[in-house]
């Protein structure tokens, strides 16, 4: 598979395409903040160690695998565990890397 490097314009486009949510992962950085400063952070994110390194090595960074897991009430009795579903709150940085990898595999 040919390794296509990540460019600043691609990272900026991906950041701007994220939904402007206030929910955050363990890093506490919401998508709204990333969208607001996308012009400033897109270039540092394209450096070799941040987004290009995982593509060349084929290793997803360990810190991007961490998530906050919450249980969300669905329906029925609130005392029944089966009436809740888990959700995982990932960091926005890992979401961006996932989108980059998906585009390369697509």
Q: Are 100 and 6 in contact (CB under 8 A)?
A: yes
Q: How far apart are CA 21 and CA 48, in angstroms?
A: 28
What the block records as the tokens of 96 is 């961006």
Q: What's the rounded mean pLDDT across residues 35-53?
A: 86
Strand ranges inside 7-83, DSSP E: 68-73
- State the pLDDT confidence band at 104, using cuts at 50, 70 and 90: confident
Cα 26 versus chain centre, distance: 12
Query: pLDDT at residue 12 above 90?
Result: yes
pTM for this predicted structure: 0.82
């Amino acid at each position: 598979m040919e390794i296509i490097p990540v460019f600043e314009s691609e990272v900026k486009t991906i950041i701007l395409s994220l939904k402007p949510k206030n929910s955050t992962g363990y890093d506490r950085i919401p998508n709204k903040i990333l969208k607001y400063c996308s012009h400033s952070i897109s270039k540092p994110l394209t450096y070799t160690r941040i987004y290009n390194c995982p593509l060349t090595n084929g290793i997803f960074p360990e810190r991007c695998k961490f998530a906050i897991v919450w249980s969300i009430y669905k329906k029925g009795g609130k005392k029944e565990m089966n009436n809740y579903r888990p959700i995982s709150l990932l960091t926005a940085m890992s979401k961006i890397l996932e989108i980059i990898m998906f585009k390369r595999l697509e």
